[in-house]
Amino acid sequence: TGTDSNNVALVGGDGVTDPHYVIAASTSPGFVGSQAVTFTHPAYAPNDPNSRWISISSTGTPGSNTTSYRLTFDLTGFDPLTAVITGDWGVDNDGAILINGVATGNTLTGGSTANFNVLHAFSITSGFVAGSNFIDFVVTDLGAPTALRVDNLTGTARQVTGAIPEPATWLMMLIGFGAVGAAIRRQKAPPLKKAR
């Protein structure tokens, strides 16, 4: 969060537009579809050269809401069954991570200050699909301000090296091979010549 296209922390104070995270949902009206912006608070884990805190506004208000910060990425050309994403995150106050709308089991709960004054490791190992994917960081705030931080985000997946036939194509190929094999077996052996 809070980085440019080279994953370097955005320069400037609060309110700098994050080019990667979109507000996908919020119980506070007027924010859905807008880009997240940088925001920090002295109680939060300090920003670093690779990430900054983001929020729905430059002041982290309004609070007392639930907001989904969405990051979209494309796995075209990669095997989604081999995809893994890891990183560190913090939220003010509670949070959950979803991949393509499905819970990943990564949560920060209890409204504890430990959810935002240190970052916590997370890992996503399933739920990926071919093509476009999205991760939602769902933040539930218990009182202004509200914010999210993601750092050390890393993704891996095995590249697809050749086209993988659809199941129906495999079935047609097997039927075709079977038919060719049967035709070869039905051919009569050439007659033997009599010895003289």
Sequential pLDDT tens for the chain (196 residues): 999 999 899 999 999 999 999 999 999 999 999 999 999 999 999 999 999 999 999 999 999 999 999 999 999 999 999 999 999 999 999 999 999 999 999 999 999 999 999 999 999 999 999 999 999 999 999 999 999 999 999 999 999 986 555 565 545 555 554 544 444 444 554 554 545 5
- Cα separation, 86 vs 155, whole angstroms: 7
Output the pLDDT for position 168.
56
* Cross-sheet strand order for the sheet of 17-26: 102-108, 94-99, 132-140, 66-74, 17-26, 35-38, 54-55, 147-156, 84-92, 120-124
Are the C-beta atoms of 102 and 142 separated by less than 8 Å?
no
Whole-prediction pTM: 0.82
Closest CA to 100 of 77, 141, 68: 68
- Cα separation, 166 vs 185, whole angstroms: 29
